[in-house]
Chains A and B, each alone.
Chain A
Amino acid sequence: MARMKFVCDAERCIECNGCVTACKNEHEVPWGVNRRRVVTLNDGVPGEKSISVACMHCSDAPCMAVCPVNCFYRTDEGVVLHDKDVCIGCGYCSYACPFGAPQFPSQGTFGVRGKMDKCTFCAGGPEANGSQAEFEKYGRNRLAEGKLPACAEMCSTKALLAGDGDVVADIFRNRVVQRGKGAEVWGWGTAYGSQQAGHPPVKGAK
């Protein structure tokens, strides 16, 4: 089994925010928290590119490295999850993450920062698979239901691909060959340590 990965195809993303909506609806994410968002580069300039960004479930996750209470863990499928019962909401993971994935709900009179919330690759948390407790803290566990992340399955142009790394890489590779351009996979070099077309070599990359 290869590891679960996201690929966002910047040639296809039309900034519709369907992935963001699907995620918020599927997991009933509270106001002020966006587990996924769409970023547009060179907005308004001809040739602008949009990419859908969330937790990339990095191979060597910096959030896991800096967490002072060790609340993160990685599943057999390479999905980086965390335990909200252990999280103290310090925000170190937010500073460490190159994708801005960790989110913090701020509610109450003084806007107290709550426990960290982030994309779970629709894989829930440490509670029993599909339980109400898991849903309330982390949202739906679609992987355990035999489904792929809602953001990718709802993507209208199939710009966002999610699933087994070998499968999504194969789908993307086939597209690039068919259209003859757009081989850059945004974020893969950072998340998975591999050099991508059009990017300078990453020092110490595997």
Chain B
Amino acid sequence: MIRTALILAAVLSLAACGEKPQTSTGAKRDTPAFQGTSNAYNAPGWKAGDKTSWEQHLKTRAQNSQNEYNRVN
């Protein structure tokens, strides 16, 4: 009985620690960015339609272009 109450209390107290889902809300739906574009200006180094490669490419690009502590000097 006490154990159940403790589990319930833990569940209720931890419920507020979660973050509200932020993905795709609103009335509209857009083509995901990882699908790429049909123009000639796509950055090389990732595959259009592959979400994982797009995410990894943007992470690498952010580190390379915005974190000068990564540079060797």
A: which residues have CB within 8 A of B?
A: 1, 3, 59-60, 64, 70-78, 81, 83, 86, 123-126, 128-131, 141, 143-148, 152-153, 158, 161-164, 167-168, 171, 174-175, 178, 206
Contacts A64-B26, A145-B36, A146-B61 given; indicate if A161 touches B69 (C-beta within 8 A): no
Contacts A129-B36, A163-B62 given; indicate if A73 touches B31 (C-beta within 8 A): no
Among A143, A146, A164, which residue has the most Cβ atoms of chain B within 10 A? A146
Inter-subunit contact B30/A158 (CB<8 Å):
no
Inter-subunit contact A129/B31 (CB<8 Å):
yes
Nearest-Cβ distance from residue A126 to partner chain B, whole angstroms: 5
Kindly state the separation between the CA atoms of A125 and B55 in the bound complex, as whole angstroms.
20
Give every chain B residue within 8 A of A153 (Cβ-Cβ): 65-66
Q: In chain A, what residue has the closest Cβ to B30?
A: A126
Give every chain A residue within 8 A of B66 (Cβ-Cβ): 148, 152-153, 158, 161-163, 168, 171
Q: Is B4 an interface residue (CB 8 A)?
A: no
Kindly identify which residue among B35, B44, B59 contacts A167, using a CB–CB cutoff of 8 Å.
B59
Kindly state the separation between the CA atoms of A59 and B21 in the bound complex, as whole angstroms.
9
Kindly state the separation between the CA atoms of A143 and B62 in the bound complex, as whole angstroms.
12
Nearest-Cβ distance from residue A150 to partner chain B, whole angstroms: 12
Q: Is B73 an interface residue (CB 8 A)?
A: no
B: which residues have CB within 8 A of A?
A: 19-20, 22-39, 41-46, 51, 54-55, 57-59, 61-63, 65-69
Kindly identify which residue among B26, B58, B65, B69 contacts A175, using a CB–CB cutoff of 8 Å.
B69
Inter-subunit contact A81/B61 (CB<8 Å):
no
Kindly state the separation between the CA atoms of A146 and B35 in the bound complex, as whole angstroms.
10
Inter-subunit contact B23/A146 (CB<8 Å):
no
Inter-subunit contact A75/B32 (CB<8 Å):
yes
Among B23, B33, B42, B45, which residue has the most Cβ atoms of chain A within 10 A? B33
Nearest-Cβ distance from residue A9 to partner chain B, whole angstroms: 10
Inter-subunit contact A145/B67 (CB<8 Å):
no
Inter-subunit contact A75/B30 (CB<8 Å):
yes
Q: In chain A, what residue has the closest Cβ to B69?
A: A174
14 interchain pairs, CB-CB under 8 A: A60-B20, A71-B27, A72-B26, A74-B26, A75-B32, A77-B33, A125-B30, A126-B29, A130-B38, A143-B33, A144-B34, A146-B46, A168-B62, A174-B69
